[in-house]
Every structure is written in C-alpha cells, then in structure tokens.
Amino acid sequence: GAGVSQSPSNKVTEKGKDVELRCDPISGHTALYWYRQSLGQGLEFLIYFQGNSAPDKSGLPSDRFSAERTGGSVSTLTIQRTQQEDSAVYLCASTSGRVGPNTGELFFGEGSRLTVL
C-alpha cells in the first residue's frame, strides 16, 4: 500500500498475556519508529530503527517491551506479560532516513489500540 500499515487496529487482551503489534512501513523507507500514545497524552518515543544500524531502544519502558525489524522492512513490537498500564495506542511511523528537504517528516500509521483488561 501507499501508506504505513499497522495491525491489528484494535486488540483487547487479558493482563499477563503477550501481544504482538505489526507495522508495515512505506516501501523504501529505511527509518522506522514506534511511539506510544496514552489517552489524552502526547507521543512517547519507544524505539527507532535506521537501516542496518543498531536500533535506538532508549524509549522502551521496561524489559517486557521489545521490537524487531526483519529484512529492513516489517517491524513487530512485542509486549510480554501485559499490564493494564500498557493500554494505549501504539503508533508506527516511517521516513526515508535521508537528510534533506522535509527532514523530520514522519509518515504515521493509524495506530494499534491496545486494551489490557
């Protein structure tokens, strides 16, 4: 597709279960970000992938959170042993990764809304 695609769009899970959220970035975009947006809050940076470089994991809130990006394209964010405070919208964004006109323009998906009961 033309834009960033995320799935599932909605996920309801029970406390303690593991969840996987998927992001399919725009074709050719080398940089990929995950953000978390809690109700009424701003965008909390989680993790950033750029090409083959080691990911910037500095925003991951705990070791229950992990992400991988296979083949430099699709990314999966995994949350293990989910807690109620993990409930939020998880947004993925991609960008060309090149410095130049419109540097900083991230293209966001519609997000995956996670509800932990």
Residues forming contacts to another protein in the complex (CB under 8 A) are 4, 31, 33, 35, 40-43, 45, 48, 50, 56, 58, 91, 93, 95, 97, 99, 102-106, 108-111
Cβ proximity to another protein: between 35 and 82 the closer is 35
Residue 80 or residue 108: which is nearer to another protein going by CB? 108
CB 18 within 8 A of CB 73: no
Residues 26/107, Cβ–Cβ less than 8 Å: yes
Q: Which is nearer to another protein, 33 or 65 (CB)?
A: 33
Name the residue nearer to another protein (CB basis): 4 or 19.
4
How many CB atoms sit inside 10 A of residue 11's CB? 18
Minimal distance, residue 66 CB to another protein, in Å: 17
**Nearest distance, CB of residue 64 and another protein, angstroms:** 21
- Closest separation in Å from C-beta 6 to another protein: 9
DSSP structure string for 3-67: S-EEE-SEEEE-TT--EEEEEE--TT--EEEEEEE-TT--PEEEEEEETTSPPB-TT--STTEEE
The nearest distance, CB 18 to another protein, in angstroms, is 24
Structure tokens that stand for 75 in this block: 């990314």
Q: Are 110 and 7 in contact (CB under 8 A)?
A: no
